[in-house]
């Protein structure tokens, strides 16, 4: 993020008693020690950033405070009184609310219905009254969302705004945000920051979980760094010299978030999109060769999702507009093989990419099942062995193939999806927001894996992270309102400097 909004004067509450105190909290999942005797205080009028690698225990710790998990040891105090929540409802009643990294929305309902679900007063509210209340709440915090829209039709960024509005509607005194900016555009992030500052100005306490170091340094009053389930350090932003220093504390080593990108041999064409009109798209012409990375960038909601869904077979494009591995779309999807074809790494890693209540073996078989069949029988033992090897190769923690998808941190779940899809040795990879919500170390690993995959595949990278696009891509295509408004090699520095203008629809210079 290049610029962040100027922070208003900090609310002076140096001697305020903590609204929440965590004392020696410990949580285990089987043999895995997720939180090890953690002690933290959360004070009113302050934003406490919780920082750490994927799997460091941040979400587990806040899950206990929010009532989703029960501590194995230690105690929690709210306003000086010990509490033990048996459910999220009890935590909400105590004034503690949390927006989770993985959304909990009813897709068939409208925005207003989702926000007020379970929170309506005892009398009947008409849809118009509900929409008015949610519109007023959204306007109060400058969150741009249509209360009448059906949640299933929203982008990931818009769904995140609905989750935030649900929390704001509860008027909680302690607000926990788990990776809230992971799916937001820069403009939406700015508005969220302003909303958080408005909350703390009213004396609310905010916990901000993030992997984005520049955001943490910009927004936090206090920073707690977790490593391997323990509190590694507690700092104030002014005590930290740079992002590199903060990354070193978090990871335990220097992390540059850069990759050594050397040119790969460009081979046969693997994707050809010709005059694609429809599905909210206009005159899309793109091509991709094996050995190269084409990054599609743009503000969320400008046609990227429709493009990905068409290429990946989720929606049917007009005839003779998309050709995959030399075949027309309909011929390709009539009977695609499981190997040496197209691999899709979706943005929604716990929804579309995996089955949340299935283990890693079953999730491995989602897209590789044909490779483990012997006649009518499934070779489950071989699938277990191969999954175990992928867990080792990709360092997927906690290192057990029977762990359920929802039990993994975001970074480890993404590594599992990436491992599965690269196991298929694809010729075309569609990677949609592949490092969203990942820490710097996990991001570096995903980048390296994708670049290594160029030897076997062409990669269509759809990302809202311009740094990611410029680090990985050979060419960039900028989308605005369903059109590709610019396409150029990353070596064209003049064009690269104009990306921000292209994303805003400015093409006349």
Q: Is there a shared CATH topology between the 20-251 domain and the 269-503 domain?
A: yes
Taking only the tens place, the pLDDT of each residue in 78-120 is 999 999 999 998 999 899 999 876 678 998 999 999 999 876 5
Class of domain 269-503: alpha beta
Contacts of 217 (CB under 8 A, 6+ apart): 237, 240, 243, 246
Taking only the tens place, the pLDDT of each residue in 193-225 is 888 888 888 888 999 998 778 889 989 999 999
Q: Tokens at residue 84, please?
A: 């033990």
Point out the residues of the chain with pLDDT beneath 70: 1-15, 101-102, 119-124, 156, 183-187, 253-258, 509
Q: What are phi and psi of 279, to 5 degrees?
A: 65, 20
How would you classify the pairing of strands 269-278 and 322-324? antiparallel
Cα–Cα distances in angstroms (integers) from residue 79 to residues 71, 82, 107, 175, 223, in the given order: 19, 8, 36, 15, 21
Reply yes or no: is the peptide bond before residue 427 cis, omega within 30 of 0.
no
User: What is the reported pLDDT for 215?
Assistant: 87
CATH number for the segment(s) 20-251: 3.40.50.300
Cα–Cα distances in angstroms (integers) from residue 67 to residues 6, 70, 77, 147, 451, in the given order: 34, 7, 13, 28, 41
Place of tokens 């118009």: 128
SS3 349: coil
User: What is the reported pLDDT for 420?
Assistant: 97
Q: Are 58 and 209 in contact (CB under 8 A)?
A: yes
User: What is the reported pLDDT for 2?
Assistant: 47
User: What is the reported pLDDT for 35?
Assistant: 94
Taking only the tens place, the pLDDT of each residue in 392-437 is 999 898 888 999 999 888 888 999 999 999 999 999 999 999 988 7
User: What is the reported pLDDT for 1?
Assistant: 43
Place of tokens 């005797």: 37
Q: Are 223 and 245 in contact (CB under 8 A)?
A: no
Taking the domains of the chain in order of start, what are their residue ranges?
20-251, 269-503
* Distance between start and end Cα atoms, the chain: 25
């Amino acid at each position: 993020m290049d610029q962040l909004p100027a922070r208003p004067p900090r609310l002076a509450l140096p001697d305020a008693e903590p609204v929440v105190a965590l004392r020696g909290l410990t949580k285990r999942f089987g043999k895995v020690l997720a939180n090890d005797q953690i002690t933290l205080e959360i004070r009113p009028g302050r934003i406490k950033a919780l920082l750490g690698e994927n799997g460091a225990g941040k979400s587990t710790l806040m899950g206990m405070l929010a009532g989703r998990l029960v501590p194995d040891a230690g105690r929690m105090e709210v306003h000086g009184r010990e509490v033990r929540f048996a459910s999220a409802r009890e935590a909400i009643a105590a004034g503690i609310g949390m927006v989770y990294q993985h959304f909990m929305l009813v897709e068939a309902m409208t925005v207003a219905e989702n926000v007020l679900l379970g929170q309506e007063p005892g009398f009947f509210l008409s849809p118009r009254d509900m929409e008015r209340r949610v519109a007023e709440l959204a306007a109060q915090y400058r969150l741009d969302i249509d209360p009448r829209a059906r949640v299933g039709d929203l982008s990931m960024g818009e769904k995140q705004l609905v989750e935030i509005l649900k929390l704001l509607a509860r008027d909680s005194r302690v607000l926990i945000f788990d990776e809230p900016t992971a799916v937001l555009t820069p403009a939406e992030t700015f508005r969220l920051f302003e909303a958080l500052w408005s909350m703390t100005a009213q004396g609310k306490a905010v916990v901000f979980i993030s992997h984005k170091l520049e955001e943490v340094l910009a927004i936090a009053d206090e920073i707690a760094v977790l490593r391997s389930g323990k509190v590694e350090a507690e700092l104030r932003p002014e005590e930290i010299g740079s992002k590199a220093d903060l990354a070193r504390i978090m990871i335990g080593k220097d992390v540059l978030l850069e990759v050594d990108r050397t040119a790969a041999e460009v081979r046969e064409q693997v994707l050809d999109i010709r005059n694609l009109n429809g599905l909210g798209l206009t005159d899309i012409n793109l091509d991709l060769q094996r050995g190269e990375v084409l990054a599609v960038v743009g503000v969320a909601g400008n046609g990227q999702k429709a493009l990905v869904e068409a290429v990946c077979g989720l929606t049917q494009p007009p005839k003779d507009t998309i050709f995959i591995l030399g075949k027309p779309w309909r011929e390709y999807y009539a009977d695609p093989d499981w190997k040496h074809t197209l691999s899709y790494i979706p943005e929604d890693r716990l929804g579309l990419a995996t089955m949340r209540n299935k283990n890693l073996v079953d999730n491995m078989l989602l897209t590789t099942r044909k490779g483990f069949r012997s006649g009518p029988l499934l070779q489950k033992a071989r699938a277990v062995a191969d999954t175990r090897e992928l867990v080792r190769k990709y360092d997927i923690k906690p290192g057990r193939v029977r762990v359920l998808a929802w039990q993994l941190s975001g970074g480890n779940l993404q590594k599992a999806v990436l491992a599965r899809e690269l196991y298929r040795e694809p010729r075309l990879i569609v990677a949609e927001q592949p490092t969203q919500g990942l820490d710097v170390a996990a991001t570096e690993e995903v980048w390296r894996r994708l670049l290594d995959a160029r030897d076997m595949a062409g990669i269509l990278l759809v990302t809202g992270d311009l740094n990611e696009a410029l680090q990985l891509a050979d060419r960039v295509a900028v989308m605005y309102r369903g059109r590709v408004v610019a396409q150029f090699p990353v070596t064209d520095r003049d064009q690269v400097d104009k990306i921000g203008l292209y994303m805003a629809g400015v093409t006349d210079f």
